[in-house]
Amino acid sequence: MRFPALVINVESIRHNARVISGLLERRGMRFVGVAKGTVCHPDVVRAMLSGGAAAVGDSRIGNLMNLRAQGYEGETVLLRAPSPSSCKMAAEVADISLNSEVETVRLLGAAAIAAGKEHRVILMVDMGDLREGVLPADAPGVALQMASVPGIRLVGVGTNWGCFGGVVPSPKSLGALVALKEETEGNLGFPLDIVSGGNSTAMKLVLDDTMPWGVTELRIGESVLLGLDAAERRPVPGCRQDAFTLRAEVIEVLRKPSAPLGPTGQDAFGEIPEFVDKGIRRRAICAIGRQDIDPEGLIPLISGISVQGASSDHLILDVEEVDTGIQVGQVLDFRPNYSALLRASTSPFVRKEVLQ
């Protein structure tokens, strides 16, 4: 099956990685390349590393295992705390992990000792987004407990943004994280090397030149993959937005009413769709669906096409305004957003094609 396909332009990713590592370096930070949007595709990881990523971060242990199996021997960062039942595997494939539970860190320490290793831990602090992390007031005490676990080296503090509460970082909040790291060092009696300041939402501070000194790394996925700052979804200056193209084939082109006929109920996903009646329109269906993409996250590359929606396996497009017409068998190109990229990367039904 040639289509659907996700075409990956590795040169664009390498280029973006160079731009981002340069921007971060100027502020004394290292770039942790996050490839989970592509389930750690080996060519994507290679492009990030050759563009200057210092380590590879991923939230899934399975992705890091695959990376190790492919022979990657560099540094790995596990971005989601391991579950207690997966600490043994986590200690085997990850050099560093982000954690907030002392009990999990004890299991990681035991697993590291059994594997003849030392496992490094970054204590996650919740600076307001309300996903993972201990509250700031608890950080110095929890750090002390984690640092005393055999097999574990506590190396720093970190935080995340824009993933649950939609909270984006500010110079003030990241400055507070740096101050918290200093307070924690005072409590521990030894220095911490890492202040892990966040994901692609923190690129805004880099671009505005307001990133506080003392943040030592950012964990960047979206900005390197899609060339966007994730706080406002603006292009990162100098980065390319063309690294991924989703290609799907047309299986039906017919003129149909733009509003459904007959009584309506919930759609296949439990939602009640709303329609604007624009009369009879030419519509196309592509052979791809929600199992493979997020329809809200696709930008058609031919002007005049608009995405109307999708079921599990059918993507419905309004093509009335396309001057050249659309034919059955034609292959249409789309630019995926992060959510569409993640699903296309994960779907076994989407062929991955790497442009070298």
Ligand X SMILES: *Cc1c(COP(=O)(O)O)cnc(C)c1O
| Structure-token match 């389930």, residue found | 39
Pick from 254, 203, 246, 268: nearest CA to 34? 203
Q: Taking the complex as a whole, how short is the minimal distance between the CB of residue 157 and ligand X, in angstroms?
A: 13
230 part of the interface to ligand X, by CB under 6 A: yes
126 part of the interface to ligand X, by CB under 6 A: no
Which residues lie below 8 Å from residue 243, measured CB to CB, with a gap of 6+? 8, 9, 10, 12, 13, 16, 225, 226, 227
Q: Which stretch binds ligand X (CB under 6 A): 101-109, 166-174, 215-223, 348-356?
A: 215-223
Task: Closer to ligand X by CB, 59 or 258: give it.
Answer: 59
Residue 189 C-beta-side C-alpha neighbours within 13 Å = 3
38 part of the interface to ligand X, by CB under 6 A: no
Q: Which stretch binds ligand X (CB under 6 A): 7-15, 220-228, 270-278, 284-292?
A: 220-228
Would residue 256 show up in a list of annotated catalytic residues for this protein?
Answer: no
Task: Closer to ligand X by CB, 196 or 310: give it.
Answer: 196
Q: Taking the complex as a whole, how short is the minimal distance between the CB of residue 277 and ligand X, in angstroms?
A: 39
φ/ψ of residue 65, rounded to 5: -60, -45
- Please pick, from the candidates 16, 38, 199, 216, the single residue that binds ligand X as defined by CB under 6 A: 199
- Footprint of ligand X on 254-283 (CB under 6 A): none
180 part of the interface to ligand X, by CB under 6 A: no
Q: Taking the complex as a whole, how short is the minimal distance between the CB of residue 161 and ligand X, in angstroms?
A: 8
79 part of the interface to ligand X, by CB under 6 A: yes
- Please pick, from the candidates 3, 11, 43, 59, the single residue that binds ligand X as defined by CB under 6 A: 59
Task: Closer to ligand X by CB, 59 or 311: give it.
Answer: 59
- Please pick, from the candidates 34, 90, 180, 319, the single residue that binds ligand X as defined by CB under 6 A: 34
160 part of the interface to ligand X, by CB under 6 A: yes
Q: Which stretch binds ligand X (CB under 6 A): 167-175, 214-222, 254-262, 313-321?
A: 214-222
Q: How far apart are CA 330 and CA 311, in angstroms?
A: 20
- Please pick, from the candidates 129, 222, 249, 318, the single residue that binds ligand X as defined by CB under 6 A: 222
- Please pick, from the candidates 133, 136, 140, 221, the single residue that binds ligand X as defined by CB under 6 A: 221
Amino acid letter, 10 = V
Asked if the peptide bond before residue 4 counts as cis, ω within 30 degrees of 0, the response is yes
Pick from 14, 9, 8, 6: nearest CA to 224? 14
87 part of the interface to ligand X, by CB under 6 A: no
Judged on CB neighbours under 10 Å (0-12, 13-18, 19+), 223 is: buried
Which residues lie below 8 Å from residue 98, measured CB to CB, with a gap of 6+? 77, 78, 79, 80, 81, 121, 122, 124, 132, 158, 196
Pick from 223, 205, 227: nearest CA to 214? 205
Q: How far apart are CA 57 and CA 28, in angstroms?
A: 19
Pick from 273, 324, 266, 321: nearest CA to 295? 273
- Footprint of ligand X on 96-125 (CB under 6 A): 98
- By annotation, the residues acting in catalysis are 36
Q: Residues in the site for ligand X, rule: CB under 6 A?
A: 34, 36, 59, 79-80, 98, 160, 199-200, 219-222, 230
